[in-house]
């Protein structure tokens, strides 16, 4: 498997459930990102990790909890979500941190389509 892989591709959960989204990249990149793509809103940057450290948190509610155990894996833990959290969640990676000297382009996964009932 090459590139950025996201699992599951589809997830349906109730508001009281706890679930996790997983992202894996085999590109040797040092930065990883979570974006939210809703039907009627632009792509929203949620979290940014560089070398496993979180460097950006764009006022995301605490019911979303990211985890980056190593530079190849990124998780988004979900707990007590709301129906308005239903969206496509995209993971991306880049060689270096955006805005840095080695940033490069972002490589995206296919996304995890989340539906909150």
Partner 1 sequence: AQRVTQPEKLLSVFKGAPVELKCNYSYSGSPELFWYVQYSRQRLQLLLRHISRESIKGFTADLNKGETSFHLKKPFAQEEDSAMYYCAPEGNNDMRFGAGTRLTVKP
64 binds partner 1 (CB under 8 A): no
102 binds partner 1 (CB under 8 A): no
52 binds partner 1 (CB under 8 A): no
SS (H, E, C) 74-96: EEEEEECCCHHHCEEEEEEEECC
Q: Is 8 left (phi over 0), alpha (psi -120 to 50) or beta?
A: beta
90 binds partner 1 (CB under 8 A): yes
55 binds partner 1 (CB under 8 A): yes
Among 52, 71, 98, 113, indicate the residue that binds partner 1 (CB under 8 A).
98
């Amino acid at each position: 498997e090459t590139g950025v892989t996201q699992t599951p591709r589809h997830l349906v959960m109730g508001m009281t459930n706890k679930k996790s989204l997983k992202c894996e990249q085999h590109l040797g990149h040092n930065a990883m990102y979570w974006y939210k793509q809703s039907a009627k809103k632009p792509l929203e940057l949620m979290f940014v990790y560089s070398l496993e450290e979180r460097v950006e948190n764009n006022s995301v509610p605490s019911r979303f909890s990211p985890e980056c155990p190593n530079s190849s894996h990124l998780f988004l833990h979900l707990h007590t979500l709301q129906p308005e959290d239903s969206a496509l969640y995209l993971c991306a990676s880049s060689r270096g941190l955006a805005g840095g000297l080695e940033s490069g382009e972002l490589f995206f996964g296919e996304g995890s389509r989340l539906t909150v009932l």
